A and B are shown apart, each in its own frame.
Chain A
Amino acid sequence: RKEVEQDPGPFNVPEGATVAFNCTYSNSASQSFFWYRQDCRKEPKLLMSVYSSGNEDGRFTAQLNRASQYISLLIRDSKLSDSATYLCVVGGSGNTGKLIFGQGTTLQVKP
């Protein structure tokens, strides 16, 4: 089983649509969870951390289900500028802080 698994997509959606991405992780001892965004040939940039209680940042909502080892990201009212690859990222179980990345889900928002 992959350490962090995502549907690679691509997801092609019209502007204004709501889109959801899912991710599963294999290590139940993981302590930290993130969604990063990566534009083509650029560095990953933190979109948001994910907490057990769920958290929201503007149009973005992230959820964590520890029992199912499942993480989600919901994007409402999609913008053209949201087109990117969304990386599900899990912190390793040790205290070195290494990050384990999923393959990424590609989103293309069309006018």
Chain B
Amino acid sequence: EPEVTQTPSHQVTQMGQEVILRCVPISNHLYFYWYRQILGQKVEFLVSFYNNEISEKSEIFDDQFSVERPDGSNFTLKIRSTKLEDSAMYFCASRTVTSTDTQYFGPGTRLTVL
């Protein structure tokens, strides 16, 4: 069964450093998402991406965040200058065409900012 993959599984970084989280969505999917979950809190939407551009972003997704699909398979989330409060689990998700279709989530990257 096809699945969304994410690397690394755990990233530790110093405050102020840049990090890039990587995702490989399911190959025939067209919509891509990033969500985050701070420990003990709910899953929160960050950004959606379609046709090589951001289609929607949340208030959390400020100028420190960017997304990119650099090739036909990868989908990345970059945090330019990490803060302590960016420590969270980051999930990538993808789906096919219809907005009510199932989103499939990757296993997540645990980001720890020291």
Q: Secondary structure at chain A's binding surface: helix, strand, loop or mixed?
A: loop
Q: Is B106 an interface residue (CB 8 A)?
A: yes
Q: Say whether, besides A43-B91, A91-B100, A103 and B42 are in contact (CB < 8 Å).
A: yes
Looking at chain A, what size class is its interface with the partner chain?
Answer: 20 to 34
Residues in A whose Cβ lies below 8 Å from that of B104: 46
CB pair B48–A43 under 8 Å, yes or no, is: no
User: Which residues 31-47 in B have Cβ within 8 Å of A in the complex?
Assistant: 31, 33, 35, 41-45
Smallest beta-carbon distance A46→chain B, Å: 5
Interface residues contributed by chain B, number (CB under 8 Å): 27
CB pair B48–A96 under 8 Å, yes or no, is: yes
Q: Which of B91, B102, B103 has the most CB of A within 10 A?
A: B103
- 29 CB < 8 A contacts A-B: A31-B99, A32-B100, A34-B102, A38-B43, A41-B110, A42-B107, A43-B107, A44-B105, A45-B105, A46-B102, A46-B103, A87-B42, A91-B99, A92-B56, A94-B99, A95-B99, A96-B56, A96-B99, A97-B33, A97-B48, A97-B95, A97-B101, A98-B33, A99-B43, A99-B93, A99-B103, A101-B42, A101-B43, A103-B42
- Interface residues, chain B, with chain A CB atoms under 8 Å away: 31, 33, 35, 41-45, 48, 50, 55-56, 89, 91, 93, 95, 99-108, 110
